[in-house]
Structure 1
Amino acid sequence: MRSFVRVLLGAALVFAGTSHLTFARRDFRAQVPDFVPLDTDTTVLASGVAEIGLGSALLFTPRRRRRTVGTIAALFFTVIFPGNLSQWVNRRDAFGLDSDEKRVARLFGQPLLIWAALWSTRGSASAGR
């Protein structure tokens, strides 16, 4: 199950990163907080490249390095959380999140991504024995 979640998360990150660079670029711009010092489009492109890299690493990194990749992915999900908050606070519509209720509900997904990145890249308790 851990491998399935890791592969699913990796594929989702590659897809999301690709969408940053192509068809969903405008929607991702709605999530960039005002305090980010970079140009909004540059931020979207950079985060897209990071997501493609992280997703690829989750898919292809050898087992002995997966824990490190999972930690980096969890940190990435933590760092981008202010974008979700910004979308809610500033009432920016994107990705079908066109109400406060939908934007708030999305906030609860981020901890699940953090958990998935960590859980899926750690072996079971009996694996180290």
Structure 2
Amino acid sequence: MNLPEERGRAVALVALCLFYLAAGIIHLLSPSVFVSVTPPWVPDASLVVRATGLCEIAGAFGLLIARTRKLAGVMLALYALCVFPANIMHAVHDLSTGTGLGWAYHYPRLFVQPLICWWALWAAGVVGGSRGKDI
């Protein structure tokens, strides 16, 4: 791998760590914001929201440790996939009621979810040029 790619991957890794660390802290400090957009079929939404906050924080730290980086990247990609129903519900609720955030927020948010999955996999070295190598 070339030096610019290594630097780009390192920057992406740090940014992803900060993103998930911040998200995890927000999930723990303000769970009601997330409970309100959790699909009704999720049992004990408040507990699930707090658990996801802990998972985000664990994933962020897991990315920083070379030994756990790839596993953390895979788990965070799967996590981003699993929370997609909540993102859809949030968009449907806001757009159908005319309350909350509009298309300017929800349209990019829904379409960037696959990018977040890829970002976790690429930054962790699961996909791309550094497979088998630690950053």
Same fold (TM over 0.5): yes
> Following superposition of structure 1 onto structure 2, how do residues 68-107 of structure 1 map, counting pairs within 5 Å?
68-91=71-94, 98-107=101-110
The one of 25, 29, 42 equivalent to 2:31 is: 25
Q: In the comparison of the two structures, how many residue pairs are matched?
A: 121
Alignment partner of 1:35 is 2:41:
yes
The 2-side partners of 1:27 and 1:76 are apart by 18
The 1-side partners of 2:130 and 2:55 are apart by 33
Superimposed CA distance per residue, residues 83-103 of structure 1 (whole angstroms, 9 cap, x where no aligned partner): 1011112228xxxx5224422
SS class of match (1:90): helix
Alignment partner of 1:44 is 2:49:
yes
The 2-side partners of 1:84 and 1:126 are apart by 31
- What are the ranges of 5 or more consecutive residues in structure 1 without an aligned counterpart? none
Contact 2:23 2:56 in 1 (8 A): yes
Cα separation, partners in 2 of 1:27 and 1:121, compared to 1, 3 Å? same
Q: In the alignment, what sits opposite 2:122? A: 119
Q: In the alignment, what sits opposite 2:21? A: 14
Q: Which has the higher helix share?
A: 2
Superimposed CA distance per residue, residues 72-122 of structure 1 (whole angstroms, 9 cap, x where no aligned partner): 111111111111011112228xxxx52244223211121121111011111
The one of 54, 58, 68 equivalent to 2:59 is: 54
Contact 1:32 1:43 in 2 (8 A): no
The 2-side partners of 1:19 and 1:103 are apart by 19
Letter of the 1:79 partner, please give it.
C
Contact 1:32 1:86 in 2 (8 A): yes
Displaced runs of 4 or more, over 3 A: 126-129
Q: Higher RCO, 1 or 2 (CA under 8 Å, sep at least 6)?
A: 1
The 1-side partners of 2:106 and 2:40 are apart by 17
Identical columns (%): 32
The 1-side partners of 2:131 and 2:50 are apart by 38
Letter of the 1:28 partner, please give it.
F
Cα separation, partners in 2 of 1:19 and 1:126, compared to 1, 3 Å? closer
Cα separation, partners in 2 of 1:18 and 1:107, compared to 1, 3 Å? same
SS class of match (1:31): coil
TM-score normalised to structure 2 length: 0.77
Contact 2:63 2:70 in 1 (8 A): no
